[in-house]
Structure 1
């Protein structure tokens, strides 16, 4: 009798245990959920995505089933398997075809972008390699300062190296090579100029007044380091040159001279008339009468320097080189020291738009600023022959020798006007 009673107690306890197990796992086999926080959450489907009936359980569900009893077959038997899959309609076919076409276009665009980027990199490597060759003396061109070190460059000659510490950029600006617009870009990045209308830093380069960007107090340059950092200045320069991205833009040297002459002497410019134009007229203009005191008066009287007088002034051995070589016609190797500074990017004005787009990506600021649209009246390379036709061959060759280093360093061919 005691044995029978023990069996009954054991049976009752086992039944209670099984009922408890069923209650605990009931929500995982398709019943009501007693423990909503323990159920696994599925991510919502992507918008626009469609799902089709599945004939077999997903792989992750199968793995879950093998490790525990969760996710039982009830999940897959709750929905009956359709006897026949829905046929694709013409609308579905069109959508699938359009999606495939878009995908192919995206892949083609991405491939073209990668190919363009690779071509840009090869172009940059060729430009940098040429500078190394010329600076090493392999091209047989000698010019002042070729073999000196960066430490030997005087501070006063480092005034064209603009530093942006926020984005770790160093830009050497060359006048008459889109430097106004590049200075505008640097102002936007450094947030160094506040718009009077908004009271906030400018965000659009084209909105920055061009006369303001040439204010030397607006930019931090290497030439100011000594005043700011004293004896640590050269050490800081070396660190920034090592870690920052350095770039400059160049153009055909003779075309740059034409552009400088047109801009500074082709129209009234009081500063350049007093400092240079009046000197040219007195020395080479055969002017016997007293010169007008202002550029406006001189131009009204039809008195202004000619391009030949300008070239003569550049070649005059009696003229102090330091004074006549204003930054607008000073050689690039004297402005930016390419033999002492290893530039990461060398752009050309002749390919300004594509080079600027590539550079902003290299600098990783293309999402912050865009390069302003180019000037419509840019001096064309094709004008060179007409402008130099009035210059005697002897003078053209001497002028080429004066700028030969820039021609060689930056890969510009010897002008045809020098050959004959």
Structure 2
């Protein structure tokens, strides 16, 4: 209050208003995400679709090429990360749940197939993974491989997305991440908001959040120190180990409607689940939001992300030039 009183005594009401506007703009980007559950319209005419088949074949070939290029497909390669797969033996579905890549929508489908009602899912809309794990326990490598090889062979799939767009400040919105937020801000105060905005935030009782550059630098620091990364921003390459798991479908968020329809028809569940689109994003498309935040980074940080997600970018044919070009020097 002393700061505000001092400003008013000095006739700095205009400066105070400007600071309030700056605070509002900063906090606007930190608002909690809105949850929307909508019916999804999938393509009505899917089979035969030569273009879709060719696209999925190309993706499998591309992943295999990158695996061979770096020797990840050999016995000396990485071990399969079996803990992150969900296996529905009844319907012949095996899915590696990549967070921020239609994970909410497909958790809904898997929970419906497990016997939950839509009412139960809506009542627990913020905790679908816990519900899923009660029905789909984590498997060890041997059990997962057996499930993927048991006839009739299941549809084994994952959904890829540009790794930069998957980056999101998950830690900003949940109370359990309060200590993590503080560590992010303390590690790199030079990447935080200006002092005036911070002081006004404290004055008005606003919870303090790390800026996107602080968040990304925290992730990069852990990556360079070879420390474990949170599952929400771990690379798809390490999380789903596509060089070790025999995936039949590499879907992508960019072609999600067709890819999801293919998975549903190939497994025979198209009449058992009502397609749902569950959106936890801020207002605006994910691509627009991502560009807004990613363009706040430096070129050095973008290059760090390119290194972190090297295999994701190469395997799934994503480009990082757009974000490198808009980053600051």
TM-score norm. by structure 1 comes to 0.57
Offset at residue 315 of structure 1 (A): 1.6
Note if contact 1:206-1:372 (Cα within 8 Å) is conserved in structure 2: no
Compare relative contact order (CA 8 Å, sep 6+) and give the higher one, 1 or 2. Answer: 2
| Distance change in 2, residues 1:380/1:249 (3 Å) | same
Distance (Å, rounded) in 2 between the aligned partners of 1:319 and 1:409: 22
1:397-412 matched pairs, under 5 angstroms: 397-412=303-318
Which residue does the alignment assign to 1:130?
62
Residues 37-96 of structure 1: per-residue CA shift (max 9 Å, x gap): xxxxxxxxxxxxxxxxxxxxxxxxxxxxxxxxxxxxxxxxxxxxxxxxxxxxxxxxxxxx
| Distance change in 2, residues 1:123/1:392 (3 Å) | same
| Distance change in 2, residues 1:217/1:151 (3 Å) | farther
Offset at residue 348 of structure 1 (A): 1.2
TM-score norm. by structure 2 comes to 0.71
| Distance change in 2, residues 1:369/1:395 (3 Å) | same
Q: Report how many aligned residue pairs link the two structures.
A: 269
Which residue does the alignment assign to 1:98?
none
Distance (Å, rounded) in 2 between the aligned partners of 1:362 and 1:270: 40
> Match of 1:373, SS?
strand
- Determine if the alignment matches structure 1 residue 244 to structure 2 residue 154: yes
What is the RMSD of the two structures over their aligned residues, measured on CA atoms?
3.2
| Distance change in 2, residues 1:224/1:283 (3 Å) | same
Note if contact 1:162-1:171 (Cα within 8 Å) is conserved in structure 2: yes
1:14-413 matched pairs, under 5 angstroms: 113-115=46-48, 117-137=49-69, 142=70, 146-149=72-75, 153=79, 157-191=81-115, 193=116, 202=117, 207=122, 209-215=124-130, 217-221=133-137, 223-225=138-140, 234=142, 236-242=143-149, 243-257=153-167, 260-261=168-169, 263-265=170-172, 267=173, 269-274=174-179, 276-285=180-189, 300-301=205-206, 303-316=208-221, 320-323=225-228, 325-375=229-279, 377=281, 379-413=285-319
Distance (Å, rounded) in 2 between the aligned partners of 1:151 and 1:385: 34
Offset at residue 336 of structure 1 (A): 0.7
Structure 1 stretches of 5 or more lacking a match? 1-108, 194-201, 226-232, 288-295
Distance (Å, rounded) in 1 between the aligned partners of 2:221 and 2:101: 25
Structure 2 stretches of 5 or more lacking a match? 1-42, 193-200
Offset at residue 164 of structure 1 (A): 0.7
